[in-house]
């Protein structure tokens, strides 16, 4: 198994999620370089994780780091201007989610990667951290029959700092991107319509929305109702999947299956898969793609449909109307 020299572009808070996760497989991943214009943050990361090369300039990183692949952890507001030069240099990429805030930029990145034949994967690190995969398999095996509805609620108090405060797209861009992707995984098909309303609470200091409710209809007829709050003093994350033969309830750590006649759940699964583990798994999918040529399930092209749902939610809220999608992409 080849050992890859991997570099990080962006040394902010999310970079530690990757650096901690990659420590679990040093035979496969060697972090040899990191790039960030903030010299103080850059020094902190290199000292803590023993990274040999540090760069404050992206072009210097591209020309001199000698990496086999790169992980992009920059703010989404500068994502496109960072990703395109890396692609033009032929460097395979794992990009933090959302890999772009807007559908137009995401499409441009995806098209550029296809033109240059450079693999780009997206770090959807909740695919297994939240037990979407367990529920996905249950749905695929018809354990609960045809899914008629998913009800998903996430509420907690979150006060961000730094660059996120100035972004027009906030709560859904930060967390909704996980859940939109998860709904696609569970149902095994794409959304065909999106309706959204949103607010921004004075309890949280930020430019964008703090609270939103989204309703989606999927190609198989399933309806999803999703509520997100960053201003709640009560914390809860719960997904209920209602099928014609049974119902599933889950949070980050537990999945419960209830069938007709049950007084208690028929079966319970425990989920302890961390975001760090999931980030390593997402990188491994990219590296396997590089080695085999087989497109990874977390490819930018696949994730474009998740970004389309996010973009449609914002457009729906702005225009007070339902946004239609075709094969997961906005019409």
Local confidence pLDDT in tens for the 331 residues of the chain: 899 999 999 999 899 999 999 999 999 999 999 999 999 999 999 999 999 999 999 999 999 999 999 999 999 889 999 999 999 999 999 999 988 878 999 999 999 999 999 999 999 989 999 999 999 999 999 999 999 999 999 999 999 998 889 999 999 999 999 999 999 999 999 999 999 999 999 999 999 999 999 999 999 999 999 999 999 999 999 999 999 999 999 999 999 999 999 999 999 999 989 999 999 999 999 999 999 999 999 999 999 999 999 999 999 999 999 999 987 776 5
**Please, are residues 66 and 55 in contact by the beta-carbon 8 Å criterion?**
no
Per DSSP, the three-state class of 20 is helix
Which helix (DSSP H) or strand (DSSP E) does residue 307 occupy? helix 300-319
**Please, are residues 308 and 330 in contact by the beta-carbon 8 Å criterion?**
yes
Residue 111 to residue 255: CA distance in whole angstroms: 38
The two structure tokens encoding residue 136: 């996905």
Residue 97 to residue 166: CA distance in whole angstroms: 18
Going by C-beta distance under 8 Å and a sequence separation of 6 or more, which residues neighbour residue 63?
none
**Please, are residues 83 and 108 in contact by the beta-carbon 8 Å criterion?**
no
Supply the pLDDT for residue 331.
56
Beta pairing class for 29-35 and 4-9: parallel
Supply the pLDDT for residue 221.
97
């Amino acid at each position: 198994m080849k050992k890859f020299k991997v570099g990080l572009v962006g040394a902010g808070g999310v970079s530690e999620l990757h650096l901690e996760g990659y420590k679990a497989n040093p035979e496969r991943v060697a972090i040899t370089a990191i790039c960030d214009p903030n010299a103080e943050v850059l020094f902190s990361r290199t000292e803590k994780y023993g990274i040999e090369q540090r760069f404050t300039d992206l072009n210097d990183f591209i020309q001199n780091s000698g990496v086999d692949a790169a992980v992009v952890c920059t703010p989404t507001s500068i994502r496109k201007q960072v990703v395109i030069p890396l692609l033009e240099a032929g460097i395979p990429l794992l990009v933090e989610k959302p890999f772009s805030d807007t559908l137009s930029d995401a499409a441009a990145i995806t098209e550029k990667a296809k033109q240059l034949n450079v693999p780009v994967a997206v770090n959807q690190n909740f695919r297994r951290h939240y037990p979407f995969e367990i529920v996905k398999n249950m749905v695929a095996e018809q354990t609960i029959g045809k899914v008629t509805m998913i009800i998903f609620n996430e509420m907690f108090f979150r006060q961000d700092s730094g660059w996120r405060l100035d972004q027009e797209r906030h709560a859904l861009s930060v967390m909704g991107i996980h859940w939109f992707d998860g709904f696609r995984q569970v149902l095994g098909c794409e959304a065909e319509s999106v309706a959204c309303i949103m607010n921004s609470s004075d309890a949280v200091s930020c430019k964008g929305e703090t609270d939103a409710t989204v309703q989606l209809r999927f190609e198989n007829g399933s309806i999803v109702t999703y509520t997100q709050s960053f201003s709640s003093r009560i914390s809860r994350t719960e997904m209920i999947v209602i099928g014609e033969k049974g119902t599933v309830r889950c949070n980050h750590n537990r999945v419960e299956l209830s069938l007709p006649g049950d007084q208690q759940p028929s079966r319970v699964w425990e989920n302890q898969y961390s975001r760090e583990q999931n980030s390593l798994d997402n990188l491994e999918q990219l590296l396997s793609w590089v080695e085999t040529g087989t497109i990874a399930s977390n490819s930018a092209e696949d994730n474009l449909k998740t970004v389309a749902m996010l973009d449609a939610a914002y457009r729906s809220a702005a225009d007070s109307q339902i946004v239609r999608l075709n094969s997961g992409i906005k019409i």
